[in-house]
C-alpha cells in the first residue's frame, strides 16, 4: 500500500466571515519551540487591516442590535464548539509553545471557562452598570450602557489561545465588533479560533483576526477614523505611547497595555471599558 502524503493546514486571515490570504501575498514561517517549521501564516498588511475595519463596521449594527440574551446564547455556542475541538487546540499549543500536554490542556480549559464566564455577563452587566438616577422633578432618569463600536485589539503576545480569548470575548459582550491582531509567535490557535467562530452563530464581520506583525498593523488601527476603541493589552513591547497619540487624534477610546501573569484577567472592567453610557429623561405620567 502506497504511503499517503499529509495535507498540511493553510492558515489564512479571518475577515468578514471569510478566510482570505493577505492582499500582499506575504506569509511568514511559524516555528515550534525547537525551531522546527510548523506552518506558513499570512502576514497581514495595511490594506488587510482596512478591509477588516470595513467588515467590522458593517457588522456593528446587527450585533449590537441583538438582545443581550441572544448574544449570550451565541457566545455560549462558541464555548461548546471550543470544547468539541479541545484536542486540536491542545496539540497546537504544545507544538507552538513547547508546553507540556498538561499545561496546554490547562490553558484550553481556562480559555473555554473564560468564554463561558463572559457569555454569562451578556444579559447581566447592563443591570450592574446601568441605573435609575434620582432627580428633582417629575421625570425618570435612566442610564444604560451601549457599545462603543469597532474595537481594535492587540492580543497578548505570550499565549496561543487564552490571551486572544481574554481580549476578544469581553468586547463582544457589550455588542462591539472587533479587529484583533493575534500573537505573532503563536498565531495558529488564533486562526483555529476563527474557524470556530465561522462555524458558530457569530455573524460574519463581528470578529476579524489578523496575523503578522503587531508593530506593523497596530498604527493603522490606532489612526483609523472608523475604529472607536483600542485595546493595547498585548502592545507592551510596542511604541504604545505613539499608538495612544494616534488614537487621540480621532477621539478613540484606549485601554492601555497591562502586564503580569494574566494581564487580561476576567473582569467587569474589561466589558465596560468599551461601552458608552446613554442617559434618557422621560416625564412621569400625571394621570
Report whether pLDDT(259) > 80: no
Q: Which domains does the chain have, with CATH numbers?
A: 40-283 (3.40.605.10)
Residues 73-80, mean pLDDT to the nearest whole number: 97
Kindly report the pTM of this predicted structure: 0.93
Task: Please classify residue 67 by burial: count the beta carbons closer than 10 Å to its beta carbon, then call 0-12 exposed, 13-18 middle and 19+ buried.
Answer: exposed
Tally of residues, the chain = 287
Maximum C-alpha span of the chain: 88
Quick one: pLDDT band at residue 235, thresholds 50, 70, 90? very high
Residues 190-219, mean pLDDT to the nearest whole number: 97
- CB proximity list for 269: less than 8 A, separation 6 or greater: none
Quick one: pLDDT band at residue 242, thresholds 50, 70, 90? very high
The pLDDT of residue 115: 97
Q: What is the dihedral of CA 178, 188, 81, 266, to 10 degrees?
A: -50
The pLDDT of residue 283: 85
The pLDDT of residue 253: 93
The pLDDT of residue 42: 97
The predicted-structure confidence for 6-39, as pLDDT tens digits, reads as follows: 777 889 999 999 999 999 999 999 999 999 999 9
Distance of CA 44 to the CA centre of its chain: 16
Quick one: pLDDT band at residue 125, thresholds 50, 70, 90? very high
Mean pLDDT is lowest, of 147-156, 234-243, 247-256, 278-287, for: 278-287
Region of residue 47 (phi > 0: left; psi between -120 and 50: alpha; otherwise: beta): alpha
Report yes or no: 126 and 271 within 8 Å, Cβ to Cβ: no
Amino acid at each position: 500500500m502506497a504511503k499517503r502524503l499529509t495535507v498540511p493546514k493553510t492558515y489564512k486571515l479571518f475577515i468578514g466571515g471569510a478566510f482570505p490570504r493577505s492582499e500582499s501575498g506575504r506569509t511568514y514561517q511559524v516555528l515550534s519551540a525547537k525551531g522546527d517549521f510548523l506552518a506558513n501564516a499570512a502576514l497581514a498588511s495595511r490594506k488587510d487591516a482596512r478591509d477588516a475595519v470595513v467588515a467590522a463596521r458593517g457588522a456593528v449594527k446587527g450585533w449590537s442590535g441583538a438582545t443581550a440574551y441572544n448574544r449570550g446564547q451565541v457566545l455560549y455556542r462558541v464555548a461548546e464548539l471550543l470544547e468539541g475541538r479541545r484536542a486540536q487546540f491542545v496539540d497546537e499549543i504544545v507544538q507552538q509553545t513547547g508546553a507540556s500536554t498538561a499545561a496546554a490542556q490547562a490553558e484550553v480549559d481556562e480559555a473555554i471557562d473564560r468564554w463561558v464566564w463572559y457569555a454569562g455577563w451578556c444579559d447581566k452587566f447592563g443591570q450592574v452598570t446601568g441605573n435609575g438616577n434620582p432627580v428633582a422633578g417629575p421625570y425618570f432618569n435612566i442610564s444604560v450602557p451601549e457599545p462603543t463600536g469597532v474595537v481594535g485589539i492587540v492580543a497578548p503576545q505570550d499565549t496561543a489561545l487564552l490571551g486572544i480569548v481574554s481580549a476578544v470575548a469581553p468586547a463582544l459582550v457589550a455588542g462591539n465588533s472587533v479587529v484583533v491582531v493575534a500573537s505573532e509567535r503563536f498565531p495558529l490557535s488564533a486562526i483555529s479560533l476563527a474557524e470556530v467562530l465561522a462555524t458558530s452563530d457569530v455573524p460574519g464581520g463581528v470578529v476579524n483576526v489578523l496575523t503578522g506583525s503587531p508593530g506593523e498593523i497596530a498604527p493603522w488601527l490606532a489612526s483609523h477614523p472608523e475604529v472607536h476603541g483600542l485595546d493595547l493589552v498585548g502592545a507592551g513591547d510596542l511604541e504604545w505611547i505613539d499608538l495612544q497619540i494616534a488614537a487621540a487624534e480621532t477621539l478613540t477610546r484606549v485601554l492601555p497595555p497591562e502586564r503580569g501573569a494574566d494581564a487580561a484577567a476576567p473582569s467587569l472592567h474589561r466589558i465596560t471599558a468599551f461601552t458608552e453610557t446613554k442617559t434618557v429623561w422621560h416625564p412621569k405620567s400625571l394621570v
